[in-house]
Structure 1
Amino acid sequence: MNASSVPLPPLLLLPTILIISLILSPLAGAQNSNHYSEYIGALFTGVKFSDVPINSGVDFHFILSFAIDYTTTTSPPSPTNGDFNVYWDSGNLSPADVSAIKQAHPNVKVAVSIGGATVSGDTVYFSPSSADSWVSNAVSSLTSIIQQYNLDGIDIDYENFQTDSATFADCIGRLISTLKTNNVISFASIAPFDNSDVQGHYQALWASYSNVIDFVNFQFYAYSSATTESQFLSYYDAQRSNYAGGQVLASFTTDGSGGLSPANGFFDACQTLKGEGKLAGIFAWTADSSKSNGFQYETEAQNLLAS
Structure 2
Amino acid sequence: MRCVPFITAVLASFVTYTTAAPRYDMASTLSPPKWEIPRLVIYFQTTHDDKGRPISMLPLVTVKHIALTHLIVCSIHIHKDGIIHLNDYPPDHPRFKTLWKETSIMRQSGVKVMGMVGGAAPGSFTKFTLDSNDDRTFEHYYRQLAAVIRRYRLQGLDIDVEQPMSQSGINRLILRLRLDFGGDFIITLAPVASALTSSYGGLSGFNYLLLEEEYGVLIDFYNAQFYNGFGSMHSTAHFDYTIAAGWDPAKIVIGQLTDRGSHAHVALNNTIVQLREKMGVIGGIMGWEYFNAEPGGIKAPWEWAQVMTRILRPGLVPEMNITRDTAIKLTQTWIESVRPGMDALCASVGGAVNQACALSALIPNVDYMAMVNA
If the length of structure 1 is used for normalisation, what is the TM-score? 0.70
Equivalent in the alignment of 1:21: none
Equivalent in the alignment of 1:7: none
Match of 2:211 among 205, 209, 219: 205
Q: Distance in 2 between matches of 1:177 and 1:32?
A: 20
Q: Distance in 2 between matches of 1:80 and 1:239?
A: 39
Equivalent in the alignment of 1:280: 283
2:143 corresponds to 1:140: yes
Per-residue deviation at 1:268?
A: 1.4
Q: Distance in 2 between matches of 1:62 and 1:148?
A: 17
Q: Distance in 1 between matches of 2:264 and 2:115?
A: 25
Match of 1:98 among 100, 103, 117: 103
Equivalent in the alignment of 1:47: 55
- 8 Å CA contact 2:65, 2:306 repeated in 1: no
Per-residue deviation at 1:243?
A: 6.2
- Write the mapping of 1:171-186 to structure 2, written as runs, cut at 5 A: 171-181=172-182, 186=185
Coordinate RMSD, CA, aligned: 3.3
SS at match of 1:66: strand
- 8 Å CA contact 2:76, 2:87 repeated in 1: yes
- 8 Å CA contact 1:192, 1:199 repeated in 2: yes
Equivalent in the alignment of 2:220: 214
Q: Distance in 1 between matches of 2:144 and 2:264?
A: 37
Change over 3 Å in CA distance of 1:117–1:224 after alignment to 2 = closer
Residue type at the aligned position of 1:271: V
Equivalent in the alignment of 2:257: 253
Change over 3 Å in CA distance of 1:156–1:80 after alignment to 2 = farther
**Aligned pairs, how many?**
254
Residue type at the aligned position of 1:173: I
- 8 Å CA contact 1:113, 1:155 repeated in 2: yes
* Alignment deviations for residues 80-107 of structure 1 (CA, whole Å, 9 cap, x no partner): 49x633227863553222112222x1x2
Q: Distance in 1 between matches of 2:223 and 2:156?
A: 13
Provide structure 2 residue ranges, at least 5 long, that are not aligned to the other structure.
Answer: 1-33, 315-374
SS at match of 2:148: helix
Equivalent in the alignment of 2:42: 38
Change over 3 Å in CA distance of 1:47–1:155 after alignment to 2 = same
Residue type at the aligned position of 1:168: G
Per-residue deviation at 1:115?
A: 0.5
Equivalent in the alignment of 1:268: 270
SS at match of 2:282: coil
* Alignment deviations for residues 61-94 of structure 1 (CA, whole Å, 9 cap, x no partner): 1101111112xxxxxxxx349x633227863553
Change over 3 Å in CA distance of 1:134–1:253 after alignment to 2 = farther
* Alignment deviations for residues 106-143 of structure 1 (CA, whole Å, 9 cap, x no partner): x211000000102xxxx446203324235423442222
SS at match of 1:222: coil
Residue type at the aligned position of 1:85: H
Sequence identity (%)? 18
Q: Distance in 1 between matches of 2:185 and 2:67?
A: 18
Change over 3 Å in CA distance of 1:208–1:268 after alignment to 2 = same
Per-residue deviation at 1:281?
A: 1.0
Change over 3 Å in CA distance of 1:146–1:56 after alignment to 2 = farther
If the length of structure 2 is used for normalisation, what is the TM-score? 0.59
Residue type at the aligned position of 1:37: V
Residue type at the aligned position of 1:287: Y
* Alignment deviations for residues 165-201 of structure 1 (CA, whole Å, 9 cap, x no partner): 32333333333323334x7x61111000035433651
Residue type at the aligned position of 1:300: V
Equivalent in the alignment of 1:5: none
Residue type at the aligned position of 2:286: F
- Write the mapping of 1:1-307 to structure 2, written as runs, cut at 5 A: 33-42=37-46, 44-45=48-49, 46-52=54-60, 58=67, 60-70=69-79, 79-80=80-81, 84-87=84-87, 91=95, 94-103=99-108, 105=109, 107-118=110-121, 123-124=122-123, 126-129=125-128, 130-131=132-133, 132-161=135-164, 163=165, 165-181=166-182, 186-193=185-192, 194=194, 196=200, 197-198=202-203, 200-203=205-208, 204-223=210-229, 227=232, 229-230=234-235, 233-242=236-245, 244-245=247-248, 247-256=251-260, 262-263=264-265, 265-276=267-278, 277-290=280-293, 291-292=297-298, 294=300, 295-307=302-314
Change over 3 Å in CA distance of 1:133–1:237 after alignment to 2 = farther
- 8 Å CA contact 2:56, 2:99 repeated in 1: no
Provide structure 1 residue ranges, at least 5 long, that are not aligned to the other structure.
Answer: 1-29, 71-78
More strand by share: 1
- 8 Å CA contact 1:40, 1:286 repeated in 2: yes
Residue type at the aligned position of 2:126: S
Change over 3 Å in CA distance of 1:153–1:220 after alignment to 2 = same
Residue type at the aligned position of 2:225: Q
SS at match of 2:69: strand
